[in-house]
A and B are shown apart, each in its own frame.
Chain A
Amino acid sequence: MAVKMVNLTIDNHPVSVPAGTLVVDAAKKVGIEIPVFCYHPKMDPVGMCRLCLVEIGRPMVDRATNQPVLEADGSPKISFGPKLETACTTPVSEGMVVLTENDKVSEARKDILEFILTSHPLDCPVCDKGGECPLQNLTMRFGPGESRFLFDEKMRLAKQVPLGELILLDRERCIQCARCVRFQKEIVDDPVIGFSQRGRALEIVTFSDPGFDSIFSGNTTDICPVGALTTSDFRFGARPWEMNAAASLCTHCPVGCNLTINVRREARAGGRDVIKRIMPRQNESVNEIWICDKGRFAYHFTESEQRLTEPMMRKGSELVAVSWDEALQAAASRLKKAGEKTITLAGGRLSNEDLFNLCQLTSGLGGQYWMHGTMGGGDLLAQVGVGQGTNLGEFGPGSAILVVASDLHEEAPVWWLRVKQAAERGATLIVASARPTRLDRFAKCVIRYAYGEEVETVTSLVPEYKTDVSEAICAGIQGILGAENLVVFFGSDGLGLEGTTALAAACMELLVKTNHFGRANNGLIAVWPNANTQGAFELGYRPAADLASRLAEAQVAYIAAADPAGDDPALAEALRKTGFIIVQELFMTPTARMADLVLPAQAFTEREGTFVSGERRVQRYYPAVRPISGPRPDFQIAAQIAAQLGFSLEERLASLVFQRLSEAMPDFAGLTYQQLAMVEEQWPLIGRHDLYFGGTGYDNHQGLGVQLKPAAQRLEPLNLPDVPELPPLQAPEGAFLVVPITCLYDRGQTLLPTSLLHERMEKPAIYVHPKLATRVGLEDKQSFQLVLNGISTLVQVIFDENAPEGAALLPRSVGVPIQGPALAQKEIVSG
């Protein structure tokens, strides 16, 4: 459908923009700045602040003849209204004439700024926003030099109002633009803050308990055009101009949100770089200009005092510090001896470069390498992952999205946001899950199944198999049939390795049977537990169902960025039988404590590398801080061990490792770091001196990344796996079913060091439907010994009407090991 273009002139510049464009945006596109406060290009205009007043004229039309009235020279006669109009609420129209620079407009800007400043405290010297403040900038540029308002008559208001433990409000600085209120309501569907009172007493309040209960709350501090909203993490932390900025990526989930890390060298840290805050970096194909609060705040693990700083070797029963030389030699000699009896186990937070060197080293020895994790199916994404050019931001009418077995709001918040917005724009959203999720209310069709029925649910959506299906499935099929584009998200809600692998196969079958693969905006997306699980799959790593026996039989287990002993008691048991354990880690994890050799690795903030997101976008992250002394990058450690063994692996730079990687891996063929660093202009324009427009975000200068072409898009033949049938889940007498779910704020190693989030973290608890509880004999808030896979753990019962009646829900990574659906018992404690 061709977009109708509208021609107008703004300050004598001819402009042609699509119909429906607002005057303020049209001006921006040709470099004319119309200042705003309340307007934000990602939200509906409200016209409240009145700063964007401009003079607008429209061609006169003779009412009698309906013909344009012409001037003597034949040009259309323009009629200007008696009042100035708000550029942020007025759509362009043909022949419109906009004046943004004349005296009338300048006076109006000065007037409005004077009004706004009557109540503003002007505490710029101590304000966090000072230096990157739209009010400051616009006042300098358009405002009156001095105020006629008497200083003594200024309102004195509270300057530290905690809206929650994460966000603080300075009531004096607030200019009532409602950007935050609108963001919470319109963008993220968490209307937990709003205005109370009226007039000059208007104030932002929170309605929720806990306060400001939204996982996107930090974004309000970016779009706040003054220093009214600040995070408790950054508040009074640094002045913007003192900080350096580095481009990075979020490591907490597979979305791959682009970040900017602001750092400052600090005396109290012994002259080291300290991360002061994390901000979103614009990538309209990935995270737009938003990030979730986990991504924003949970970086403190990189600076934790608990980080490993020196290699350690087991001497006697103790791990003692040794030199890198000694450690590398010990590793090499053990690996050499083990040869093909080496097993390498890698975690999904390693970079592609780390994973590449590790697998090269292992292959060189003839050993085997595996991924640590309980989610499968990533190999299928190499075939039918979403096509190059996929952008959820383009989804609207004619597109469909199916989300299966994933609570996106908890597992990958920014995907949740983008899927929700796609549905609001008119995309058909089909949600299939065993329990209600925050996506349901945006879905055209919600399919509810019982845990264990994931695969057959997806299979029943294949139109040609249609037999005697429920109304919801029918609606789902209709939605899929009616769509030009279809993207399927699959997750691991209630599933383990076996279930997710089967589910991925079923999803691939659905995509292939309905011909939704091999092109942009079609294909499969996996909601992985880690940032680079997809990268590990791309490089040939697979999760192993029989990992325990493999570990038990290995002479050397080389474990990087994974904690099998902490995650699974069975693996801990197996590791006791392993000949020699090398652990490459940030922290002294339970696995590291069992190790014979511990090698300290650098955090992602200290080095560079690449990740592959769930949408198969390869993206670069850059060093943000100078590394602490001791730890080395994972890829380098592997290469240095290899050097001892006589293999030549690249150890100098991640970019050089990537060069080898792209030569070796067909999917990455031809890809370079330079390509990954390329950018193009994105809309809206943010992060420049005119930051009033989109808020204090970061413009992207360091790369938008490159989406890999799946095999299907390269027209390679497909290898369709069989869809295995899963055994039905049924609990025998005296037991009940427990399934794993993912919660955003778990108690994982990378989250716990962020004390700011402790109040919001999951406790060791299971969510139980009251009916199930009655059957099992559990009471709300009761603590009891849960026996799961033979291990007994003290957990709390939380009644949850949203939990299914057939299974209790246990969050992953809260201290109770669970790998997949499992039978549980209540331990009978005598007395």
Chain B
Amino acid sequence: MKLSDEYKELTWQGLWKNNPGLVQLLGLCPLLAVTSTVTNALGLGLATMFVLICSNATVSAIQQWVPKEIRIPIFVLIIAAFVTCVQLLMNAFTYGLYQSLGIFLPLIVTNCAIIGRAEAYASKNPLKQASFDGFMMGLGFLLVLIVLGGIREILGQGTLFDGADLLLGEWASVLRVEVFQLDNQFLLAILPPGAFIAMGFLIAAKNKIDAKLAEKAPKKANVEIERVRVNFDS
């Protein structure tokens, strides 16, 4: 019972309460750079999730052998190795997507969410929980990427899943939805400033929902003002 509570808590933290994209605001660089279409967002999100699960699992598995003084370089080494592997695999098996995401893939190394989870959670918890935490944090990040990608693609090009065949193979070109026909693309939504603005609205929406939830639950009305922490178990 206690264990399932912990998984529940990890899910809640990863997807909502401590979402790496919306709350921790980590990994903004890839987040804003690639979310011009849903396909790109999905590609980078899956790659990030994969790296996050692998790095969390590895860091957790080796925690007893890693002295405190050199843990950070070792984490960086592990993350960089997994990112390079993902890059090679994507180059080999999803070549089209690799061409549109190529320069952003190495940015996963600089995604602080990954080293943040390694340091804050994986290095202190058992393998199973750490992998699960990586999965949920990755999923939370992926969902924010997709929502942001969807908003920007609809506003910018009037489509959804444009170029999905690059990621998923030829059959996926049927996924492309033309929401409405645009004579001229709405440039702001496609360029980085549009990403910042959309991101701002997303965070505002999340805060609004949180406020509504807090109102509905009067018992917890005396919410203390909490600093956003990467490390929720401290």
A and B part of one assembly:
no
B binding-site residues for A, Cβ under 8 Å = none
